[in-house]
């Protein structure tokens, strides 16, 4: 798998995982888990965008 595609896939995975943690944190009233989820969601977005840029540059 090319680097850009892998980054995009991993970024999407981290976005979903972060969103789940964020929701669980809200439901459980666990501020730490909610914050961790938000952080992971944002880092997933960055990784996904990095993958998109790499794919464009590889062409």
Domain count within the chain: 1
Range of the domain at 40: 3-58
Give the per-residue pLDDT at 27: 97
Alpha helices in the chain (DSSP H): 3-27, 31-58
Span 2-58, pLDDT tens digits: 788 899 999 999 999 999 999 999 999 999 999 999 999 999 999 999 999 998 887
> 11-37 as b/e, with b when 16 or more CB fall inside 10 Å?
beebbeebeebbeebeeeeeeebbeeb
Lookup: tokens for 25: 């944190």
Distance of CA 24 to the CA centre of its chain: 16
Is 1's pLDDT higher than 90?
no
Placement of tokens 């090319």 in the chain: 2
């Amino acid at each position: 798998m090319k680097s850009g595609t892998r980054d995009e896939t991993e970024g999407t995975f981290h976005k979903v995982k972060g969103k789940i943690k964020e929701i669980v944190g809200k439901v459980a009233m666990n501020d730490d888990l909610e914050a961790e989820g938000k952080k992971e969601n944002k880092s997933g977005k960055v990784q996904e965008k990095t993958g998109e840029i790499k794919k464009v540059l590889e062409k």
